[in-house]
Amino acid sequence: MFYSPAPLHIPDGFLSLLVSLVCWVVTALTLGAAISRTNKSLGERQIPLMGVMAAFIFAAQMINFPVAGGTSGHLLGGALAAIVLGPWAGMLVMTAVIAVQALLFQDGGLLVMGANILNMGLVTAAIGYGLFRSVSGSSKTVKLGVAGVAAWLSVMAGALLTSLQLWLSGTSQLGIVIPAMLGVHALIGLGEALITVSALAFILQTRPDLLGEGSESAKAGKGWILAGGLISLFVVFLSPFASADPDGLERVAENLGFIGAGQSAPFEIIPDYTLPFLGETALSTIVAGAIGIAVVAVISLLVGRGMKARS
Amino acid sequence: MPVTHVTNQFAAPECGGDVLVVNDLRFSYPDGHSALNGVSLKLCEGDKVALVGPNGAGKSTLMLHLNGILNGQGDVEIAGMRLSRENLPVIRALVGLVFQNPDDQLFSPTVFEDVAFGPLHMGLPEAEVRSRVDAALEAVRMSAYRDRLSHHLSVGEKKRIAIATVLSMQPSLLVLDEPSAGLDPRARRTLINLLRDLPITMLVSTHDMKLVQELFPRTVVMDEGRVVADGLTSEILEDEPLLNAHGLEKP
Amino acid sequence: MPVTHVTNQFAAPECGGDVLVVNDLRFSYPDGHSALNGVSLKLCEGDKVALVGPNGAGKSTLMLHLNGILNGQGDVEIAGMRLSRENLPVIRALVGLVFQNPDDQLFSPTVFEDVAFGPLHMGLPEAEVRSRVDAALEAVRMSAYRDRLSHHLSVGEKKRIAIATVLSMQPSLLVLDEPSAGLDPRARRTLINLLRDLPITMLVSTHDMKLVQELFPRTVVMDEGRVVADGLTSEILEDEPLLNAHGLEKP
Amino acid sequence: MHFDAFDRYHDKESFLHRLDPRVKVLVTVIFIVSNALLPDGAWFAFGFAWLFLLLCNLLSKLGYAYSLKRSIIALPFALIAITVLFSIPGKPLSSFHFLGITFTITDAGLLRFVSILIRSWLSVQMAILLVAVTRFPDLIHALEHLRVPAILTTIIAFLYRYLFVLTDEVFRLLRARESRSGAVTGSKRRLERVERSGRGVLWRAKIAGNMAGQLFLRSYERSDRIYNAMLARGYAGRLYTLNPHEMKSVDYYATAFAIAVIFLMQWIGRF
Ligand SMILES: Nc1ncnc2c1ncn2[C@@H]1O[C@H](COP(=O)(O)OP(=O)(O)OP(=O)(O)O)[C@@H](O)[C@H]1O
Ligand SMILES: Nc1ncnc2c1ncn2[C@@H]1O[C@H](COP(=O)(O)OP(=O)(O)OP(=O)(O)O)[C@@H](O)[C@H]1O
Ligand SMILES: [Mg+2]
Ligand SMILES: [Mg+2]
């Protein structure tokens, strides 16, 4: 009743180090752009606004509605946040929400937080804002309809990315995880779409000024429409393909070099007993030794600092 | 702080058909804080009763039990029906609960939608819903506000709409939690007149002793999760030691 | 609703060094609603003045002008300084504004950080900041709460911390918007004693006429964006026609 | 109403409570990275990591099983990993039929599944311990010191502060909705029908959406008032804070010790 963990929050341990780090890099780069953009384009008013909006998303995730058989639908909020706050601010707000969920409730891990932010905060915001923005001049009905589709797609995109990451980490089998995750989230996404649409309808009715065309310039708008559209297409085409023909996807990944050809299963991305990336070579042993020395150096440094600090 | 518990010192007025019977109700919050320690209370058809007591006395907690939002040990009977899992929906239609902050009560964009929520959820046919909404808005003298946005009303107006949202369910018992908090004197006066005119049994919690004096023939005093006094308002408001012991003040 | 505007019917007390001078202040909100229609007001060193009036009279709007959060036409002078863009930082340090809802005022996670916010943004050195925080908490008798989390406090405690957050800036003028709203009688009593003991000029808006009577020698009545009366509290509270015309009541 | 249920911090006097928050965050992250680096089936290393956890539990004075008791939270997610039981080629251990498909559990699959669970379980426990011995505001300071961008830490600080205010609001909204969710008096059959329908799912979703919209507006307007309150106290676009923490010798020694232990753990896991 207080707080229910959502199935998209990956805990630590379920993603390999490599996948976690790659996701962190992507997330950090995007957030860096988001930060420099918000710092530039938004006024000082924006700090309390984004902070309270983050709390709003957190609280809104607790609003549920009974569906059937004791289950209930509720909100993820990425698309909604981006639509009402703009994409960059929406991303920062979702990042704060996901960080607090991980730090305070262990809902989602720390090392895999990059992946969680990517799946639930960045991609959802891009889809939500991009698609909504593409119909900015249209009638209210069209806007709401598109917002609903965007909300549903944003959940599907999150689920798809999560599945792919789990598969690349060797935690799940592609042929099972994709249909399972997408199936469940097709339903969860409906709840997301319904709440997002009626929340937007409420805002359009009471404070339409807040949903004005926003602070983004027309040119930046085009970029978002493109980004949102591309990600959506990716989701729309990849999902059925991956569900129907997982082996095909694996072959594609092999051809693209994501998975080394000839490997029977992707979990060997981090082989045992050697350092990642290097293989069983003399080089590996040397690097391992170097790391050992570095660690000892760090420890000595810390002890030295401790002696100097004198509590 | 030591508090003397004066029970049944005042004779409660006699009555026949009970609208509400609470018997030895006990409740602890999940964190272990016991908020109700054996509350017993009876309300008759047409009674208008004030519920007073210091912060944390358990007034709101008691009110949340009256339509089963919280479930303690002990009996709650509404109009002769014992509150239980099966008849929860019926009881919720019989007990109209109005919370302190009207903003919590009004979650729809327009006044009409908000007042229609209860009847719609009860599964009533559309024509009936419409006539109930009209009657409820009429009762709080807000018919002209039917299509306004709840969000833009003043606190006093919101308060009256909040009362209409439960009147439209035609409850047998109206339960109001601190209805006059945050109102300016004029809005407060309007509210008092409204409550006086409503021909319905009501239990009203408040810190506003002047309101108690003006409106309610009977007063129940709670402290530390117990009923410490229950009787005629005129007598209770004269009992200085009782008032002082429970953090109250004469109006 | 027709309202008769009785201006300067009461003689305001004499004074020398003015802490606050407001001269013919006018302001309209962006949506065109004109909230202030020529407000004039003077406060002297040590004055404790109540600002009363019905909902929407413009009390909060006036208060937001006193340290330049809103900018209307007309003059505002604080301690002899005209409010303008350049001396805004100085003025903000001189006027301590406490908002109605302490949850809006206490925006930092811990009490210490909140009370330190003002002095830090005035650019004071660390040691000075710390000593001011301690003094402010001492003044509201909440020193023990220094490291507590704001969200764990009761409303009354939050209210006192909210006052400490501006006391730490050592303002010349304390401006409080409805400080007693939502407090129970005991917490309200604590607040009254605190305000009485603070040796500082203050302007306090409130709907609580009993508070006005107890605490403020002088009262300013506003309605429809104008000052409609300004004088001794004892006289104003006896003027029934005035009170009735502006939706007020005798305590 | 209080949502203090959200507070995971436990007020105690202990070595871990006194430690600088930076140290705690850093060690937690290194520990979690180390878990991710440990190879499948490194049982000794897993055991060693658990001993380290046990030591931390004891040092926190919260009881040796504190983090253990709260660590089930990651279990539901294990469902996701269950497929590795069947998908990794290896020696078949047992097989069963479900929905007309034969599932065969292999030894390699079991090894991988158990390893994933243990890694996750160890990591979650350390994170649980971190928030149990560090007040959240201190955690935010630690993030600031560790160079997390100020805009993010500020948003997180606001989020934490208003989390409680807004969840209280949501809770009251939900209560108000619940208390008006009635049914007409009538026969038993009628009742059941009402309970099932209570109007359609779409209508209910719309109500939930209205509540979200309502909450949005209130939050938005609240942020305006907060901004005014900040302006009134001298905010001009830059936020200043005092540094409440200073690294002491113990903090450096503790970091050194923890890193040494974790390195040892890696060594045990690999050789
Ligand atoms: N959700 C909760 N969890 C734990 N304790 C609670 C909760 N809600 C209320 N309490 C406690 O239960 C007691 C009774 O609270 P209640 O709200 O019923 O008091 P009240 O008489 O309505 O007070 P007030 O006049 O302030 O509204 C108080 O001590 C309060 O702190
Ligand atoms: N942001 C705003 N935009 C437009 N109009 C506003 C705004 N804020 C207030 N008003 C209007 O300005 C007028 C004065 O409002 P103000 O809040 O100053 O009244 P007040 O005297 O403080 O009332 P209360 O006793 O209810 O606090 C009111 O009519 C109000 O509706
Ligand atoms: Mg209460
Ligand atoms: Mg006001």
Average pLDDT over residues C46-54: 91
* b/e D3-28 (16+ beta carbons within 10 angstroms → b): beebbbbeeeeeebbebbbbbbbbbb
**Distance (Å, rounded) from C-alpha D181 to C-alpha D158?**
34
Kindly state whether residue D174 falls inside one of the protein's structural domains: yes
pLDDT value for C22: 93
As for how many domains chain D has, the answer is 2
**B138 reaches C (C-beta below 8 A):** no
Q: Classify D14 in phi/psi space as left (phi over 0), alpha (psi -120 to 50) or beta.
A: beta
Average pLDDT over residues C13-31: 83
Examine the pLDDT at D186 and tell me if it is beyond 60: no
| Spans of all domains in chain C | 4-104+173-245
Half-sphere exposure of B228 toward its Cβ, with a 13 Å CA cutoff?
25
> Per the structure block, which two tokens stand in for C103?
């949850």
The answer to whether ipTM exceeds 0.90 is no
Digit-coded pLDDT (tens) for B70-121: 999 999 999 888 888 888 888 888 999 998 888 888 888 889 999 999 898 8
pLDDT value for A295: 81
How far is B68 from chain C, CA to nearest CA, in Å? 27
Kindly state whether residue D119 falls inside one of the protein's structural domains: yes
pLDDT value for B5: 45
Digit-coded pLDDT (tens) for B34-57: 999 999 999 998 899 999 988 888
Instruction: Kindly report the CATH number that applies to the domain delimited by A17-310.
Output: 1.10.1760.20
Residue of B94, B118, B123 lying closest to D197 (CB–CB): B123
Note whether D213 and D254 are same-domain residues.
Answer: no
Cβ–Cβ gap C109/D4 under 8 Å = no
Digit-coded pLDDT (tens) for A1-10: 334 445 678 8
Examine the pLDDT at A240 and tell me if it is beyond 90: no
D129 falls in which pLDDT band (50, 70, 90)?
very high
Portion 138-157 of C in contact with D at CB < 8 A:
149-152
Per the DSSP assignment, residues forming a β-bridge with B23 are: B75
**With respect to CATH, is domain C4-104+173-245 assigned 3.20.20.70?**
no
Digit-coded pLDDT (tens) for B4-36: 444 444 545 566 668 999 999 999 987 778 999
Size of interface B-C (CB pairs under 8 A): 38
Range of the domain at D64: 3-135+246-270
- Pick from A233-242, B86-95, C235-244, D180-189 the range whose average pLDDT is largest: C235-244
Q: Ligand 2: does its nearest atom lie under 6 Å from the Cβ of C56?
A: yes
* b/e A270-290 (16+ beta carbons within 10 angstroms → b): beeebbeeeeeeeebeeeeee
Residue % of chain A over a pLDDT of 70: 77
> Per the structure block, which two tokens stand in for B160?
């009256």
- Chains adjacent to D (≥3 CB pairs closer than 8 angstroms): A, B, C
Q: How far is the CA of A227 from the centre of ligand 2 (A)?
A: 43
Digit-coded pLDDT (tens) for B206-228: 988 888 999 999 999 999 999 99
How far is C37 from chain D, CA to nearest CA, in Å? 22
**Distance (Å, rounded) from C-alpha C102 to C-alpha C100?**
6
How far is A206 from chain B, CA to nearest CA, in Å? 7
Note whether D169 and D260 are same-domain residues.
Answer: no
Q: Which residue has the higher pLDDT, B56 or A284?
A: B56
**Distance (Å, rounded) from C-alpha D268 to C-alpha D261?**
10
Q: Classify D103 in phi/psi space as left (phi over 0), alpha (psi -120 to 50) or beta.
A: beta
Note whether D41 and D16 are same-domain residues.
Answer: yes
Residues of A in contact with D99 (CB under 8 A): none
Note whether D204 and D82 are same-domain residues.
Answer: no
Kindly state whether residue D229 falls inside one of the protein's structural domains: yes
Residue B73's H or E segment, with its range, is: strand B73-78
Average pLDDT over residues D94-106: 73
Examine the pLDDT at C172 and tell me if it is beyond 50: yes
Closest CA to A8 of A239, A165, A179: A165
Note whether D229 and D124 are same-domain residues.
Answer: no
**Tokens 């830090």 sit on residue:** C120
Digit-coded pLDDT (tens) for A34-60: 998 887 766 678 889 999 999 999 988
Note whether D33 and D115 are same-domain residues.
Answer: yes
Examine the pLDDT at A73 and tell me if it is beyond 70: no
Kindly state whether residue D226 falls inside one of the protein's structural domains: yes
Closest CA to C229 of C21, C26, C12, C36: C12
Digit-coded pLDDT (tens) for C92-126: 989 999 998 898 999 998 999 999 999 998 889 99
D35 falls in which pLDDT band (50, 70, 90)?
very high
Q: What 3-state class would DSSP assign to B43?
A: strand
Q: How far is the CA of B61 from the centre of ligand 1 (A)?
A: 6
Q: From residue A62, how far is each of A164, B123, D4, D45 by CA, in Å?
A: 28, 26, 16, 39
- State the best of C62, C100, C114, C117 to mutate against chain D, taking most chain D CBs within 10 Å: C117
Q: Which of B25, B52, B61 to mutate to test the pocket of ligand 1 (most atoms within 8 A of CB)?
A: B61
pLDDT value for C215: 92
Report residue A43: phi and psi, to 5°.
Answer: -75, 180
Q: How far is the CA of B111 from the centre of ligand 4 (A)?
A: 24
| Spans of all domains in chain A | 17-310
**Distance (Å, rounded) from C-alpha A111 to C-alpha D32?**
7
Q: Ligand 2: does its nearest atom lie under 6 Å from the Cβ of C32?
A: no
C1 falls in which pLDDT band (50, 70, 90)?
very low
pLDDT value for B15: 64
Count of residues in chain A: 311
pLDDT value for A171: 84
Note whether D30 and D66 are same-domain residues.
Answer: yes
Residues of C in contact with D168 (CB under 8 A): none
**Distance (Å, rounded) from C-alpha C44 to C-alpha C15?**
6
Average pLDDT over residues D10-15: 85
Q: Ligand 2: does its nearest atom lie under 6 Å from the Cβ of C53?
A: yes
Size of interface A-B (CB pairs under 8 A): 10
**C247 reaches B (C-beta below 8 A):** yes
Kindly state whether residue D144 falls inside one of the protein's structural domains: no
Digit-coded pLDDT (tens) for C190-234: 889 989 988 899 999 998 888 899 999 999 999 999 999 999 999
pLDDT value for D243: 74
Examine the pLDDT at A215 and tell me if it is beyond 90: no
